[in-house]
Structure 1
Amino acid sequence: MNKEKVYFGKEIEVMFNSDVCIHSGICVKGLPGVFNLSKRPWVDPDADTSEAIARHIDTCPSGALTYKRLDEKNSTKKEDEHA
C-alpha cells in the first residue's frame, strides 16, 4: 500500500511517501520552515520559494520526497525520476 501524501502549494506540490522514507532528517534540518514535524500539516510548500524547496528535495537520500513545479511553463517533475 502506497502511503504517499501530497501537500499543495501555490507554486509547487510536495509529495511524501512514508513507505520509502529512511528518516535521515535532511528535510527538517535543511528547511525547517517548510518541513516541521511539530506542525500539522508538517509540510508547508508555501514557506519558501519553489526553487529552494525543489533544490532541497533533490537532496533527499531515499527519494521519499518528490515534487511537481507549478510555477514554470514546463513544470519539472522530480517524481518522474523515481517512477
Structure 2
Amino acid sequence: MVKEKLYYGKDIEVMFNSDVCIHSGICVKGLPAVFDLSKRPWVDPDGDTSEAIARHIDTCPSGALTYKLLDGEYSTKKEDEHA
C-alpha cells in the first residue's frame, strides 16, 4: 500500500510518498520554512516560492517528494528520467 500524502498550496502541490523516502534529510535541511518535522502538517507549500520549492524537491535523492505547479506544469527529476 502506497503511503502518499498531498499538501496543497496556492501555487504548488507537494506530494510525499513515505514508502519511497530514504530519510536523507535533504528536504528539512534545505528549506526549513517548508519542511519542518516539528510542525503538523510538516510540509507548508506556501512557506517559500513555488519555484524555490520545486528546485529543492528536484534534489530529493529518493524521489519521495514530487510536486505539481498549479500553472499546469508537473515535474520531478525522477519522473523526467523515466519518460
Q: Match for residue 62 of structure 1?
A: 62
8 Å CA contact 2:63, 2:78 repeated in 1:
no
What count of residue pairs does the alignment treat as equivalent?
81
Over the residues paired in the alignment, what is the CA RMSD in angstroms? 1.8
Q: What letter matches 2:13 in structure 1? A: E
Long gaps (5+) in structure 2: none
What is the percentage of aligned positions where both structures have the same residue?
78
Q: Indicate the residue corresponding to 1:48 in structure 2.
A: 48
TM-score (norm 2): 0.90
TM-score (norm 1): 0.90
Q: Measure how far apart 1:79 and its partner are.
A: 8.3
Is the 8 Å Cα contact of residues 67 and 79 (structure 1) preserved in structure 2?
A: no
Unaligned runs of 5+ in 1: none
Q: Which runs of 4+ in 1 moved over 4 A?
A: none
